[in-house]
Chains A and B, each alone.
Chain A
Amino acid sequence: MTQSHSHKRDALARRFRTFIDPDFVIADEETMKPYECDGMSMFCEMPLLVVLPETVAQVQEVMRLCHREGIAVVARGAGTGLSAGAMPHADGIVLSLARFNRIVHIDPLARTARLQPGVRNLAISEETAQYGLYYGPDPSSQIACTIGGNVGNNSGGVHCLKYGLTVHNILSVEMITIEGERVVIGSDGLDSCGMDLLALITGSEGLLGVITEVKVKLLPKPEKAQVVMAGFDDIQNAGDAVGGIIAQGIIPGGLEMMDSYAIIAAEDFAHAGYPKEAAALLLCEVDGTAEEVQEHIEAAESLFRSFGATSIRTSKNENERALLWKGRKSAFPAVGRLSPDYYCMDGTIPRGQLAHVLLEMEKMSKEYQLRVANVFHAGDGNLHPLILFDANVPGEFERTEAFGGAILTLCVEVGGCITGEHGVGIEKIRYMTTQFGDLELAQFNAIKAAFDADGRLNPGKGVPTLRQCQEYRALERKPAKVEA
């Protein structure tokens, strides 16, 4: 670090310490280290400072100061994001919302909860269980990730085919603009007059404002939930079975698929009783009233059989249901055990393209000489290929990135998109030009400017500048060659 840099850091820290508890203005390298990346640890950067305000007034003051001085602000929840969206900016501060961890109010009759942004996703359902309620979106990271981060990324989970993403499950947010102004977007009603700013903010990756409170909708906990596990010896059959369920008029609470790599890894990790010889595994959860669950479970079982399932198992009690899910929910770390590192992709495709996409990926896997395991939110077409690599082998991460890029391009080619729920962040920013044209990207930049004309909020993330776009398009024309 240069001397002027450290001088700047110290001077700035002193100013933040005039209105934030000095212990929560972090300026030393060692304490700042854990903030250098989010869940996408291949992308790291040290910030100028990390600040952890405790009140909305302090957040406003932080924003005013940064706005005045032209300092970049990167909002951060739990830092579990997988697109480097919360990675710091070298000339900016990290604004951690970790101390905003209070459930402000639960209204069981109106079925809502007012939350500070640092409340953990799972804590919402845990706290509201006493009223027979829960919060719908359930990212696999729900033990750790925060509701503020969920809004930032419009996060989903295994239940979003039926219950929607974050955008479908929130009523309002309190947001601090870059100028330090406090605005409330949305209301206690289900809609508000004028443009739908709530939708615009959701998934905006901290580029439009800092969320300081979220009001979420709660759902009545279903009377019953049961899961059918079906193994297939052919991936196409499994894909067709997913379409078959939908065509039957059943919308499962969750409908997940794993390929053979993921099945073996998950089984070795969780001992859930998955058929390790299967080429594909479906987990189909049906929830609702006791009668409905019985009706739909029977329909699902016979449907899977008719699509050639080689093994079927239906959970008989809550323990068994939890066990069957455990394999799926721990699929990322389980696959992670197979390799020093893994890289999680997040494209969405039309479901009908699944077999084609998996086949193409197999070819690419050979071409790039990297193994890939697939975990798939099959109900809504959201694919999570996990590319296994070793960061310590020179050039292997670059090859992994190129492989990942080829997968995303393929997703767009078959009518899908580059990210279903993890966000663009830094990681996928160069693939924005694959999905969008320059006019769309210019419109996105204009939207950004409407909120943050100077580009101080999470700079370099989410939407490429037009100059970046030109660079990326030039790169697209000469794809990275793989050295065998």
Chain B
Amino acid sequence: MSDQTARLIEQVNAAIADGQKLNITGAGSKAFMGRETDTRHAAVLDLKDHTGVVNYQPVELVLTVRAGTPLDEIDAVLAEHNQMLSFEPPRYAAGATIGGTLACNQSGPGRPWTSSVRDQVLGIKLINGKAEHLRFGGQVMKNVAGYDASRLQAGAMGTLGAITEVSLKVLPRPAATTTLTQAMPLADAIPFMNQRAAQPKPLSGACWLDGSLYLRLSGAASAVDATAHQWQQQGAQVLDADSSARFWQQLRDHQLDFFAGDAPLWRFSVGPTEPNPDLSGPWLIDWAGAQRWYRGDEAMSDMERLATRAGGQVSQFRGGDRHGDVMHHQPAALRQLQQRLKHAFDPNALFNPGRLYSWM
């Protein structure tokens, strides 16, 4: 537990003086994301030692931590009060931090039902490109004073500044969890998942992989049991508790076999009911159809066309050549707005140059 704010501000000031670029890193568990650039491995602004719980009030459902705090540490603190980060942040490698989770907007399998890191952020502190340490949002559940500069960081990948502190809404752990599985072809699984999601049942996960559908139920024991019983009678089987916990954890952290190997991994964030594109490689469908993973060597432009047709976007999540743009292209007007915002926060373009987009 240590407060590194002074050192971080000093380093940003030094970078301004020297005209140097800074690459913001936490534990480096998401180093594979974004673009490969010339300056990528130059000077590093390291947040992984900037750790510790600043404030945690279980009855308020609010937690404030320094950005370098590892997710595992946060989980342990929350577990003592039977609470959790409802957005199930992924750990692609050990030590993954809350700051990186927000900057990369990473949320796990429960996202459509138990919300995302972006949804649960209440406030942040951030060092901008002028070495100013700013505080946005707050430590209360509702705050609409000023622009939402906290959620703006989700997906910005550090281009607006270094997040130093995060306040989050936390939630009670569900009393019970059960997973149901069912054999089903992909084309049927997509509408089926959505039909299930349209029912008022305690659904908290809907994934399709390798010809099997996985539905997770979480909530009050009576509700989970009754729904599981009902769906079992409609052809689903209950997965034993250990396999269930392992499956969702491995899905969250990309440890399933599907994610192994070197083939480029593509992430589609699309309309949940859209028919799946016909490609030769394997698919994994999560978030009841709203997040889809694909493995294979494909051209970015082709993938973008498919994603656009499905009402959403694609990113080249991991692997492949990363010198070009790996995030879905932005129309000119949105590109310009984001460039202006970048300039508003980081006028000298210190932070993570070119990491998010070649033009950023």
Contact = CB atoms under 8 A, between A and B. Distances in A.
Interface of A: 107-111, 131-133, 153-154, 156, 160-161, 164-165, 167-168, 177, 181-185, 187-197, 199-200, 202-204, 208, 220-223, 243, 246-247, 249-251, 288-292, 294-296, 348-352, 377, 379-382, 415-424, 428, 432, 435-437, 439-441, 443-444, 446-451, 462-463
Nearest to A246: B59
Nearest to A187: B312
B111 A444 contact: no
B290 interface: yes
A418 B312 contact: no
B192 to A, nearest CB: 10
A111 B152 contact: no
Contact of B271 (A189, A223, A462): A189
B327 interface: yes
B160 interface: yes
Interface string B168-185: 000111010000000000
A189 B155 CA distance: 14
A178 to B, nearest CB: 11
Contacts of A380: 140-142
B299 interface: no
Q: Could you say which of B81, B115, B134, B173 has the most chain A C-beta atoms within 10 Å of its C-beta?
A: B134
A458 to B, nearest CB: 13
Nearest to A195: B156
Contacts of A182: 333
A208 B147 CA distance: 10
B3 interface: no
Contact of B143 (A184, A294, A348, A462): A348
A352 B59 contact: yes
B51 interface: no
B153 A196 contact: yes
Nearest to A424: B145
Contacts, number: 285
Contacts of A250: 172
Contacts of B222: 289, 291-292, 294-295
B84 to A, nearest CB: 11
B202 interface: yes
Interface string B76-94: 0000011000000000000
Interface stretch (B193-201, B207-215, B246-254): B193-201
Contacts of B337: 177, 183, 197, 450-451
Contacts of B296: none
Interface residues of B, number: 92
Interface string B217-237: 001111101110000000000
B176 to A, nearest CB: 10
22 contacts: A132-B198, A189-B268, A189-B270, A189-B312, A193-B330, A195-B153, A195-B341, A196-B118, A220-B197, A220-B198, A220-B199, A289-B222, A294-B222, A351-B60, A417-B143, A428-B145, A432-B146, A436-B135, A436-B145, A440-B134, A449-B340, A463-B147
A161 B173 CA distance: 16
B273 interface: yes
A294 B202 CA distance: 15
A424 B81 CA distance: 35
B291 A381 contact: no
Nearest to A446: B344
B175 A249 contact: yes
B75 interface: no
A439 B127 CA distance: 11
B319 interface: no
A439 B111 CA distance: 34
B310 A164 contact: no
A167 B151 contact: yes
B145 A417 contact: yes
Contact of A416 (B140, B171, B272, B291): B140
A164 B115 contact: yes
Interface of B: 57-62, 81-82, 105, 111-112, 115-116, 118-119, 128, 132, 134-136, 138-156, 159-160, 171-173, 175, 191, 194-195, 197-202, 219-223, 225-227, 268-274, 287, 290-291, 310-313, 315, 327-328, 330-331, 333-334, 337-338, 340-341, 343-345, 356-357
A443 to B, nearest CB: 6
Contact of B139 (A107, A133, A350): A350
A424 B146 CA distance: 8
A439 B132 contact: yes
B143 A246 contact: no
Nearest to B112: A190
B148 A202 contact: yes
A200 B147 contact: yes
Nearest to A250: B172
Q: Could you say which of B153, B154, B200, B270 has the most chain A C-beta atoms within 10 Å of its C-beta?
A: B200
Contacts of B173: 249
A162 to B, nearest CB: 10
A350 B291 contact: no
Contact of B61 (A193, A246, A422): A246
Contacts of A451: 337, 340
Contact of A193 (B60, B160, B198, B315): B315
B338 A190 contact: no
Nearest to B330: A194
Given A154-B144, A183-B337, A289-B201, A194 B357 contact: yes
